[in-house]
Chain A
Amino acid sequence: QKEVEQNSGPLSVPEGAIASLNCTYSDRGSQSFFWYRQYSGKSPELIMSIYSNGDKEDGRFTAQLNKASQYVSLLIRDSQPSDSATYLCAVKSSGDSWGKFQFGAGTQVVVTP
């Protein structure tokens, strides 16, 4: 079992709709969680970080964290074709003082006009 799990997709979303991405993790002591976007052939870029239970909003993006259930999600509102990319969930592990990042395999999102 991988330490960070994501549905691989592709997740097909009509333009203007909400895309909902989920991520589960196994390290119960993890404290820091991140969503990265990766366009094909490009490197990951940070969208959001979240550290506390609840919701965190940034523009069209909302991250949701539930540590008790060990999942973190990302909502993309008013999806645009430019949102078509792979979204990577990353979790900073609790085992080391500096914290190793574990990445999920990513969920591919395709926004259709």
Chain B
Amino acid sequence: GAGVSQSPRYKVAKRGQDVALRCDPISGHVSLFWYQQALGQGPEFLTYFQNEAQLDKSGLPSDRFFAERPEGSVSTLKIQRTQQEDSAVYLCASSSLSDTQYFGPGTRLTVL
């Protein structure tokens, strides 16, 4: 596809469940970012990949959050034992060698 895609678009989880969010970046984009956006706030950085290497995971809120990009293209953000405070929109963005980040549509996670 022409843009960044994310799936699922909406996810409802019961507290304590594990979830996996997928991101398909623009073909050929080396850099991939995950952000968490709470209602009324700007995106907050979670983690960054350059190809398959996770170069920065300083924004991950806890050890319940894990991200991978094993083949340097598709990435998965996994949240274990979800809590209500994990409810947010999770945005994925990709970029080539320039600074411009292109965002996907996001996954809205609701934890009940």
Contacts and interface: CB of A to CB of B under 8 A. Distances in A.
Mostly, the B contact residues are strand
Contacts, number: 49
Nearest to A36: B103
Interface residues of A, number: 23
B101 A46 contact: yes
Task: Indicate the member of A34, A99, A101, A104 with the most B CB atoms within 10 Å.
Answer: A101
Contacts of A4: 42
B48 A98 contact: yes
Contact of A104 (B33, B42, B104): B42
Nearest to A96: B56
A98 B45 contact: no
Contacts of B44: 103
B105 A42 contact: yes
A45 B42 CA distance: 13
